[in-house]
Amino acid sequence: MIIDNLHEHLCELGDRQLFFVVDSAVRQKCFELSPCITPENTYILEAQESNKTLQIVQQIWDFLLEKQATRNSVLVNIGGGIVCDIGGFCASTYMRGMTYINVPTTLLAMVDAANGGKTGFNYKGIKNCVGVIQMPLQVWHYIPFLETLPRQELLSGWAEMLKHALLFSANEWERVTHAMQNLTNLDKYTFASLVEQSCWIKERYVQDDVADNGMRKALNFGHTVGHAVEEWQLSLGKTIPHGFAVMYGMVAELFLSVEKKHFPQTIFEQLKEVWATYYKTLPITPADYETIIAWTHKDKKNTQTDRINCTLLADFSRPYVNQIVTEKELKLAMENW
Q: Does 163 interact with ligand GLY (rule: CB under 6 A)?
A: no
Residue from the set 27, 52, 118, 163 that interacts with ligand GLY by CB under 6 A: 118
Q: Does 164 interact with ligand GLY (rule: CB under 6 A)?
A: no
Alpha carbon of residue 244 to chain centroid: 12
Using an 8 Å Cβ cutoff, are 78 and 105 in contact? yes
Stretch that binds ligand GLY, among 96-104, 111-119, 180-188, 322-330 (CB under 6 A): 111-119
Q: How far is the CB of 147 from ligand GLY (least distance, A)?
A: 25
Residue from the set 86, 110, 219, 293 that interacts with ligand GLY by CB under 6 A: 219
* Beta carbons within 10 angstroms of residue 99's beta carbon: 18
| Entry field: residues in the chain | 337
Using an 8 Å Cβ cutoff, are 39 and 24 in contact? no
Among 178, 330, 148, 146, smallest CA distance to 256 is for 330
Q: Which is nearer to ligand GLY, 37 or 155 (CB)?
A: 155
The CA distance from 57 to 242, in Å, is 23
Among 217, 323, 219, 313, smallest CA distance to 261 is for 313
Return the DSSP state at 307.
S
Stretch that binds ligand GLY, among 59-67, 180-188, 212-220, 257-265 (CB under 6 A): 212-220
Q: Which is nearer to ligand GLY, 127 or 280 (CB)?
A: 127
E strands along the chain, which residues?
18-23, 42-45, 74-79, 99-104, 121-123, 126-130, 138-139, 308-313, 319-325
Q: How far is the CB of 301 from ligand GLY (least distance, A)?
A: 11
Q: How far is the CB of 205 from ligand GLY (least distance, A)?
A: 7
Stretch that binds ligand GLY, among 50-58, 112-120, 169-177, 259-267 (CB under 6 A): 112-120
Residue from the set 37, 76, 99, 112 that interacts with ligand GLY by CB under 6 A: 112
Return the DSSP state at 3.
-
Q: Does 116 interact with ligand GLY (rule: CB under 6 A)?
A: yes
Q: How far is the CB of 68 from ligand GLY (least distance, A)?
A: 33
Per CB under 6 A, residues contacting ligand GLY are 112, 116, 118, 212, 216, 219
